[in-house]
Amino acid sequence: MTTNFSILRSRLQSERRRLNEELDELKTSSTPKEERRDGSPFGKREEEATETLELEKRLALEKRLKEQLFEVEHALDKFAKDTYGKCDGCGRAIDPARLEALPYAALCMACKAKLAKEPRLKPTP
Ligand SMILES: [Zn+2]
């Protein structure tokens, strides 16, 4: 069975577009509510806690989206360098089934498992 890389590539390209759109949306919706800060220093705590939580959630989501975008960009970069489908760790071909499920996978299962055991070896983006 041969994997159709051009299909995977177009999937990655639309994924990149989607991630960029989501990040844009996140930015436009993240206007701080500073203007509602009135009077008393008491009684607003719960509301502020909720806002902090919302902000944290948004930051976490933004971080996740950026990480995903980074992986997608990296995969597209591998297409450009003609190394797509090869493991970043050991250079062997990544299981086509894995690529079908996760087109931006940069590591084979073995290297991924190794990385999970030794998180300090994780390459910094
Ligand atoms: Zn590998």
Please give the distance, rounded to the nearest whole angstrom, from the Cα atom of residue 51 to the centre of ligand 1. 43
Residue 33 confidence (pLDDT): 57
Give 62-96 pLDDT, tens digit per residue: 999 999 999 999 999 999 999 999 999 999 999 99
The CATH fold assigned to 5-121 is: Four Helix Bundle (Hemerythrin (Met), subunit A) (1.20.120)
Please give the distance, rounded to the nearest whole angstrom, from the Cα atom of residue 18 to the centre of ligand 1. 28
pTM for this model (two decimals):
0.75
The answer to whether the CB of 26 falls within 8 A of the CB of 61 is yes
Taking all residues of the chain, what is their mean pLDDT, rounded to a whole number? 87
In which residue ranges of the chain is pLDDT below 50?
Answer: 1
Please give the distance, rounded to the nearest whole angstrom, from the Cα atom of residue 91 to the centre of ligand 1. 6
Residue 19 confidence (pLDDT): 98
